[in-house]
Structure formats: C-alpha cells, structure tokens
Amino acid sequence: MDKVKIALELSNLAPEYLELEITETTAMENVNEKLATMLKLKRLGVKISIDDFGTGYSSLSYFTKFPIDTLKIDKSFVRDMLEDSNAMTIIDTIINMAKAMDVAITAEGVETLEHMEKLKIMGCDKIQGYYISKPQKASVLEQMLKKLP
C-alpha cells in the first residue's frame, strides 16, 4: 500500500489513472486480506481489474464484495468464441453480469477483426490483443504516441 502511495507521489500521477490488475486466482487466495487491500486502494482512488476472469475457481458471491472497476475476460474464451457456442455463452454471461454490476469489461486475446466486431456488438467496453498491437517496448510506444494527432 505504501509503495503505491509513494509511486503515485513520485510520478505525480493522479490515482484515478492507475489501474492495478489482480488475477482471479490470486484474488481468491487469502480473500479477506485481498479484499482489505482492494478497499484501501479504492479509497486512494486507484482502479482495480480482475484479470483472467472465468479461469479460476472463484465463487461469484465474492465479486459482489470486491470493489472492482473492470473484469478482463480470459483470452481462452475469446479465442474459441466463434467456433464454440459454450465460449460465446460464457462471454455473453460475463458481459451481462458485469453491466448489471456497473463494471467495465475488457476482452483479452483479440486477434481478428471478426472477434473485435462481435465483442463490440455484445457490449464489450475494451479489447486487448494482437489485432490492435503486439506488446511494445516503452521507446516504441512513445514514438507511436508522438505520431497521434
């Protein structure tokens, strides 16, 4: 907690621009401790994402208690969604649940235009994946950002 405060102060970054990710599996280890930490981070103004959602062994009842801003749908569902109706149903269910809880949705592992378009129609807020860009070094990213209007 102190490290986050110090990092925010040193970087002069407003807390609402920092989003920390925790995997679903990690969130379920020592749940009460993780919940307390998440609540402290939220009081600071930091955003919290649950990564790899749908791949862990969590109870959905915990997600009503966690102060999360974003659920990130695991890439394994996204990869299979166009060929596997079960994967599509799971994605649709996660999106609808998140919307009902006023939680944003990010789909990971988006590699094609078809995936991106379908997720948009389904109500997905954000996407991540090679369709947009492969991971970049900070220096390359800086150059890309300088070219934007």
Per-residue pLDDT tens digits for 119-139: 999 999 999 999 999 988 999
pLDDT at 126: 97
Mean pLDDT for 46-63 is 83
At residue 58 the predicted structure's pLDDT band, cuts being 50, 70 and 90, is low
Alpha-carbon separation of residue 27 from 6, 40, 42, 65, 80 (angstroms): 23, 15, 15, 12, 25
List pLDDT tens digits, range 4-19: 999 999 999 999 999 9
Question: What DSSP state is assigned to residue 14?
Answer: -
Q: What is the rounded CA–CA span in Å between residue 16 and residue 32?
A: 24
Q: Considering Cα of 126, then 128, then 133, then 138, what sign does the dihedral take? A: positive
The answer to whether residues 91 and 123 touch, using CB atoms and an 8 Å cutoff, is no
| Strand ordering across the sheet containing 104-107 | 19-23, 47-53, 70-73, 104-107, 126-127
Which residue is associated with the tokens 């920092």? 18
Q: What is the pTM of this model?
A: 0.86
Under CATH, what is the fold of the domain 2-146?
Answer: TIM Barrel (3.20.20)
- Tokens found for residue 84: 């596997």
Question: What DSSP state is assigned to residue 103?
Answer: -
Residue 148 has pLDDT above 80, yes or no: yes
What's the length of the chain? 149
